[in-house]
Structure 1
Amino acid sequence: MSLNNLKDKSAPHNLEAEKASVGALLLNFSTEILDNVLEFVKPSDFYQNANRLVFQAIIDLSSNGSAVDLVTLVDYLTSKGELDKAGGPAYIASLTSSVPTAANVSYYAKIVAENSVRRNLISVAHNIISNAHDETEDSKLIVEEAEKAIFEINDKQQTNKFKDAKEVVQATVEAIEKRYQTKDTYTGVPSGFNRLDDMTSGFQKQEMVIIGARPSVGKTAFALTLAANTAIKQKISTGFFTLEMSAESLMQRIIAAEARIESQRIRSGFLKNSDFHLLTDAAGRIYDSPLYIDDTPNITLLELRAQARRMKAKHDINIIFIDYIGLITSENKQIPRHEQMSEVSRSLKALARELDIPVVVLSQVGRQSEGKAPGLADLRESGAIEQDADMVMFLHRDRGIDSDDGPPDSIETELIIAKQRNGPVGVVKMAFIPHYTRFEPLAYDNN
């Protein structure tokens, strides 16, 4: 259908279904029937204002513990000065006569909800067209806002269902039995560090994991090591958001770590002939891996969430790494920085739940932790990060041990698990290899 043919069409609605929905409630009211209707619609889903006001009044009366019938409804609307807006006594009395059968009230409500979704889509489409014609608007921002609006409509359609304990216990017992039979597997995404996975059972779905450290301790190197372990070694689909460096710079570090070629030689170009065989093999392994990198600078929270959804939809990613939280830009720049970080933190936790995957986020810690092992209070900019995170880990090592001959071949580093909602806290020791900017299990821990 062409746009010209759409101009004279009214917004999608079904007044008969609206009247039948509220009429059925008045004809045979019970809180159970109202709850069934509320599972599908809310007052704003009604197209006609009179029906919207009547439905809201029914909800209000029920919430107040009052009886719900024609008399109480008219009295309530009169007390609020909304009786005429709701169509008057005659219209309200006619609602019960327009109900084919009160038993089909959920079906009527679904029709109302369906038309509401279509109207919302039309409204979003009109806004997109209007914004697209506005040459002062950035096209990238228009696309972001359009995606956000569409996802919000879809989210509103998702109905939160409670689960019977019978269903939950059955699924839980089956998962426990499966773990008993396999024994050597973890419930989450394995990190590649046995000691860490023994304590956490891997990175768990729907959890936000924070990795904190002072600058130059190796946050990015550790995140890249974890991403390489998941994507390259285990072939687990992995997303990596790098806000601090380009995808090419990030890939140089991955290649150096994977090929075990000094990263400085790769950056400078002073490679040995023997390096090219190692480099080619490493590049081949990385090429075949399900690793997806986003290097958008100054990425906004809205952009990051939208891109993560695309990664999940297109590549079914099982884990996301974000380097790092302090560089994510909030859309609401008028509020204080700590409130912006609180918004970002809550949103990333919500993203983990929405996509049903672990989201691993890097974070800087405050200067007060310099020279000592950092703790939860040292997370920078917002206490909400600590509150929202399901697990918080800190990297800690002595940064003043370089000699005149350069850094040592291996530096023992502590990974401090300071918070874990569903597991123990403690310390995992590992080796940082500065020449390759990668982390490895200590020789005596690699079992």
Structure 2
Amino acid sequence: MALTPATSRRGRSSPEETLPSSAPDRSPPHSVEAEEHVIACCLLDGNDTIARCLEARISAESFYYPANRLLFEITIELYQKGSPVTLEVLAEELKTRRQLDAVGGFPYLMQVTGKIPTTAHAGYFIDKVREKHLLRELIKAATGAVENCYSFTGGLEEFVDKVEQDLFKVTQDRVSDSAKEIKDAIKDANAVIAKMLLKKGELTGVSSGFKDLDAMTFGFQKQEMIIVAARPSMGKTSFALNIAESAALPKPGREAVPTLVFSLEMSSSQLALRMLTSRSRVNLKLLRDGLIGRDSQQINDLGKAAEEFKKAPVFIDDSSNLTIMEMRAKARRIYARKKLGLIVVDYLQLVSGSDPRSPREQQVAEVSRGLKAMAKELDLPVIVLSQLNRASEKENRTPRLSDLRESGSIEQDADVVLMLSRPKDADEKFQVAANAADLIVAKQRNGPVGDLKLTFLQEITRFENFTP
């Protein structure tokens, strides 16, 4: 007989089903709707939903109904083999294994896949399947503990320890295995040391494209959160885009680093235009004013830069009003498709906390912690742009760490803090980036701090190595 939810409910009456209607429902916690929705989402968008299931530690055993358990098991096997995860492939695999009838045949597959038109609510149903499975496992462990209490024969300490172990086996899947023996960490540290010895002063992280900055940081390292702070119109976005360009379109001899840019302020087309004109060194104002001829060298340079960027591993997400949880979920999904090496967030104060009713300082602290957690989770550097308060302007001084706007937690969470500032001798008439800029390395956990100089080419919004 097929193992579908319908037939399992229509089968022989269980003792619970013979109880009066007033008796409490004692069937194990489950949700056939949630299970079918998760499988439907997997078949609609295999890679994304399955990656989320694995991240949530959903396995075939998480499904209550045997048919759904078998469908998910085969779906995971297809995913791990790299096969397409579609209704047609799943049906063919079931036929090959002679298990199609066991799940209710094509009618049940069509019933499942016809449940939903979109995967928008996949996260909710994944959590629901996980919740029901955890409850069933807790009932099993607790029931076993009750039975053992009745048959207890002595040795209370050992007995209580055994009960605790049984419950721990259930609850340990709620959290990831974060603690490792130090020998594993020592191996990683030795690998870094070997890399340093082999490269003899060369970069061990992602190059910023600025030689003086790379000399101080040895590149942006994995799991680091790098804050780039400045007052408005000081060139934060331009500086970050120049770094993204250097990573994704490196000099010969270095590998391209897949880069994701979260732009909460500018649209993707605006960012693309700035990156094009910056790389091709074309004056954007002249282009807007129509003062560049169609057959000019500048247009050829723009076309060449466009072809380079088309092949570059750069992703831009220009969603506005993102919460930190949404941002981390988006990054995770893109990472599952293309292993990223760098993330840029423009800018921190535009990212929302999970609870908009919380005080703004608490929200910024939550965002800061979330961005640092994203860097550690995805094992890559995250460059985060941030605003500075007005104190340095009012006092006419160099910015410092305490000027980071709205939360001291940014200063605590960051591994590296870079501050862009106008040179002291710059014209104070307009609060915009000057032809040169001071780059202050205000904090670096694993290296020196100090000041650097950069050249800023205003007409193409590009920072370059300083030239006197």
Q: TM-score if structure 1 supplies the norm length?
A: 0.67
| Aligned-pair identity (%) | 38
Q: Partner residue of 1:163?
A: 181
Q: Partner residue of 1:443?
A: 467
Select the residue among 300, 306, 315 that pairs with 2:323. Answer: 300
Are residues 1:92 and 2:117 paired?
Answer: no
What letter matches 2:199 in structure 1?
T
CA distance in 2, matches of 1:264, 1:374: 30
Are residues 1:389 and 2:414 paired?
Answer: yes
Displacement of 1:291 = 0.6
Select the residue among 259, 267, 277 that pairs with 1:246. Answer: 267
Displacement of 1:268 = 4.2
Superposed, 1:48-447 pairs within 5 Å as 48=139, 51=142, 87=146, 92-94=149-151, 113=170, 156-165=174-183, 167-183=184-200, 185-233=202-250, 234-272=255-293, 273-274=295-296, 275-370=298-393, 371-398=396-423, 401=427, 411-443=435-467
Tell me if structure 2 keeps the 8 A contact 1:46–1:112.
Answer: no
Q: Deviations over 1:336-357 (max 9, x none)?
A: 1011101111111111111111
Displacement of 1:385 = 0.6
CA distance in 2, matches of 1:246, 1:298: 13
CA distance in 1, matches of 2:346, 2:144: 49
Q: 1:325 to 1:171 in 2, by over 3 A?
A: closer
Tell me if structure 2 keeps the 8 A contact 1:257–1:436.
Answer: yes
Q: 1:48 to 1:427 in 2, by over 3 A?
A: same
Q: 1:245 to 1:171 in 2, by over 3 A?
A: closer
Describe the SS at the equivalent of 1:211: strand
Displacement of 1:53 = 11
CA distance in 2, matches of 1:241, 1:258: 20
Q: Deviations over 1:309-347 (max 9, x none)?
A: 112111111110000001001220111101110111111
Tell me if structure 2 keeps the 8 A contact 1:256–1:266.
Answer: no
Describe the SS at the equivalent of 1:435: helix
What letter matches 1:341 in structure 2?
V
Displacement of 1:204 = 1.0
Count residues with an aligned counterpart: 333
Q: 1:402 to 1:419 in 2, by over 3 A?
A: closer
What letter matches 1:265 in structure 2?
L
Tell me if structure 1 keeps the 8 A contact 2:138–2:167.
Answer: no
CA distance in 1, matches of 2:354, 2:429: 45
Describe the SS at the equivalent of 2:460: coil
CA distance in 2, matches of 1:339, 1:379: 15
What letter matches 2:350 in structure 1?
L
CA distance in 1, matches of 2:247, 2:315: 12
Q: Deviations over 1:221-267 (max 9, x none)?
A: 00000000001225111111101010000000000100100122334
Q: Partner residue of 1:47?
A: 138
Describe the SS at the equivalent of 2:186: helix
Displacement of 1:160 = 2.4
Q: Which runs of 5 or more residues in structure 2 are unaligned? A: 11-26, 31-60, 63-133
Q: TM-score if structure 2 supplies the norm length?
A: 0.64
Tell me if structure 1 keeps the 8 A contact 2:229–2:388.
Answer: yes
What letter matches 1:224 in structure 2?
L
Q: 1:46 to 1:430 in 2, by over 3 A?
A: same
Q: 1:403 to 1:378 in 2, by over 3 A?
A: closer
CA distance in 2, matches of 1:314, 1:340: 30
Tell me if structure 2 keeps the 8 A contact 1:324–1:363.
Answer: yes
Displacement of 1:185 = 2.7
Q: CA RMSD in A?
A: 3.4
Q: 1:10 to 1:168 in 2, by over 3 A?
A: closer
Q: 1:287 to 1:339 in 2, by over 3 A?
A: same
Q: 1:386 to 1:6 in 2, by over 3 A?
A: farther
Displacement of 1:285 = 1.0
CA distance in 2, matches of 1:403, 1:347: 38
Describe the SS at the equivalent of 1:51: helix
Tell me if structure 2 keeps the 8 A contact 1:45–1:112.
Answer: no
Displacement of 1:168 = 3.6
Displacement of 1:398 = 4.7
CA distance in 2, matches of 1:359, 1:341: 16
Q: 1:320 to 1:251 in 2, by over 3 A?
A: same
What letter matches 1:397 in structure 2?
R
Q: Deviations over 1:143-189 (max 9, x none)?
A: xxxxxxxxxx7xx3521232234x44344334322322222531211
Tell me if structure 2 keeps the 8 A contact 1:199–1:423.
Answer: yes
Q: Which runs of 5 or more residues in structure 1 are unaligned? A: 15-42, 55-86, 118-152
What letter matches 1:241 in structure 2?
F
Describe the SS at the equivalent of 1:443: coil
Displacement of 1:2 = 4.9
